[in-house]
């Protein structure tokens, strides 16, 4: 479709394969499947869910939220349900919110989902972006814990001055769907890759350092660093910046590409299933995305 090569994509991004939804399949469908798997894994019934938080930039429709469709699909009718939008950092924003709701006693069981169908907002004639993004979803169930496991600390931050570097101008009320929107390709992701790259490394590195301080941990206490999976070179540069050994860094960008808000929960799920994350292990989660937004969390699993 564009002037690129498999070699360029592999060496410049680390991406080898990606998953793309089928026609008729939507973000809520991916989120529903992830949610049902997470509930089963946690042995929690949908009727016991108090809050459903769906982190996404590719909701099914303008409104209602994508969380509403998941609620309907899984029949979690005792819950409130809403979306949050913090691009690739969405899952960590959701985790901070879920942690606060639980710690203040406002909720006991929270279903947190990160899901995207980025293929629907990707311009497959733009080689700067079309080789990067994939579709997917992941989910987690958060509950109060009576031992020292759980969310140890969270951190989130944004800088709205830099929004032009990674954005989608259309599909909102500012630029309603007119022929101009389509001619100017406003329905697609636009990114200044090189600038985003630099900010991602600095912000994720700083966020990882900060969360260790907040949680009173050192890198020796950390079993796994899970960064947002956007580019292998960003992951490597972040790990190098904070001097964490490569064997403590989780990588699956080669399999899924950049799945935005889904990237962290997919990685957590895979790390648990493959034994990279065991019970009592401490993971540092860190992400960066459009906005800019960034954040981190320290979690004892």
Which residues form the catalytic set?
88, 228, 258
Decide: is 236 part of the binding site for ligand UT7 (CB under 6 A): no
CA 201, CA 204: separation in Å to the nearest integer?
A: 5
Q: Does residue 196 touch ligand UT7 according to CB under 6 A?
A: yes
- Examine residue 226 and tell whether it contacts ligand UT7 (CB under 6 A): no
Is the Cβ of residue 154 or residue 229 nearer to ligand UT7 in the bound state?
Answer: 229
- Residue 204 contacts by C-beta under 8 Å, 6 or more apart in sequence? 227, 228, 234, 238, 286, 287, 288, 294, 296
Separation between Cα atoms, residue 34 and residue 138, nearest integer Å: 5
Contact with ligand UT7 (CB under 6 A) among 71, 109, 258, 293 = 258
With binding defined as CB under 6 A, does residue 13 bind ligand UT7? Answer: yes
CB of 187: closest distance to ligand UT7 in angstroms? Answer: 18
Q: Which of residues 133-192 bind ligand UT7 (CB under 6 A)?
A: none
Residue 151, phi-psi category: left (phi > 0), alpha (psi -120 to 50), beta (remainder): beta
Least distance in angstroms from the C-beta of 8 to ligand UT7 = 4
Judged by beta carbon, residue 21 or residue 203, the one nearer ligand UT7 is 203
Which parts of 19-78 interact with ligand UT7 (CB under 6 A)? none
Place of tokens 């606060």: 100
Contact status: 234 vs ligand UT7 (CB under 6 A): yes
Backbone angles phi, psi at 17, to 5 degrees: -135, 160
| 200 lies in the binding site for ligand UT7 (CB under 6 A) | yes
Question: Which CA distances in Å does 282 have to 50, 212, 218, 226?
Answer: 26, 11, 11, 11
Number of residues that bind ligand UT7 (CB under 6 A): 19
Containing H/E element for 51? Answer: strand 51-55
Instruction: Choose one: 64-72, 91-99, 103-111, 227-235; the region binding ligand UT7 (CB under 6 A).
Output: 227-235
Residue span 87-116 as binding mask against ligand UT7, x where in contact by CB under 6 A, dash where not: -x----------------------------
Residue 203's SS3 state is helix
> Minimal distance in Å, beta carbon 55 to ligand UT7?
13
Q: Return d(Cα 280, Cα 185) in angstroms, integer.
A: 47
Collapsing DSSP to helix, strand or coil, 223 comes out as: coil
Instruction: Catalog residues that contact ligand UT7 under the rule CB under 6 A.
Output: 4, 8, 12-13, 88, 127-128, 131, 193-194, 196-197, 200, 230-231, 234, 258, 288-289
């Amino acid at each position: 479709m564009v002037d690129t090569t498999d070699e360029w994509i592999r060496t410049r991004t680390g991406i080898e394969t990606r998953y793309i939804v089928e026609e008729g399949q939507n973000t809520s469908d991916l989120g529903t499947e992830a949610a049902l798997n997470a509930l089963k894994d946690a042995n929690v019934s949908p009727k016991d869910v108090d809050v459903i938080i769906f982190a996404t930039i590719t909701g099914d429709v303008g409104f209602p939220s994508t969380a509403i469709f998941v609620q309907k699909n899984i029949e979690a009718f005792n819950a409130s349900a809403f979306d949050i939008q913090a691009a690739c950092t969405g899952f960590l924003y959701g985790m901070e919110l879920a942690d606060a709701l639980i710690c203040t006693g406002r909720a006991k069981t929270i279903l947190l989902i990160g899901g995207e169908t980025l293929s629907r907002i990707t311009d497959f004639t733009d080689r700067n972006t079309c080789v990067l993004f994939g579709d997917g979803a992941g989910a987690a169930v958060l509950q109060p814990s009576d031992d020292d496991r759980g969310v140890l600390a969270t951190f989130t931050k944004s800088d709205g001055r830099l929004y032009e570097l990674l954005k989608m101008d259309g599909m909102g009320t500012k630029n309603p769907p007119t022929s101009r929107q389509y001619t100017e390709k406003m329905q697609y992701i636009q990114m200044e890759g090189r600038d985003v790259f630099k900010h991602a490394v600095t912000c994720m590195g700083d966020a990882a350092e900060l969360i260790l301080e907040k949680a009173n941990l050192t890198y020796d206490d950390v079993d796994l660093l899970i960064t947002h999976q956007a580019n292998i070179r960003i992951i490597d540069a972040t790990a190098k910046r904070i001097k964490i050994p490569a064997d403590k860094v989780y990588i699956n960008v080669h399999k899924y590409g950049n799945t935005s808000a889904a990237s962290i929960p997919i990685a957590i799920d895979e790390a648990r299933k493959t034994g990279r994350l065991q019970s009592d292990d401490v993971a540092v989660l860190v992400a960066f995305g459009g906005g800019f937004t960034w954040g981190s969390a320290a979690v004892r699993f």
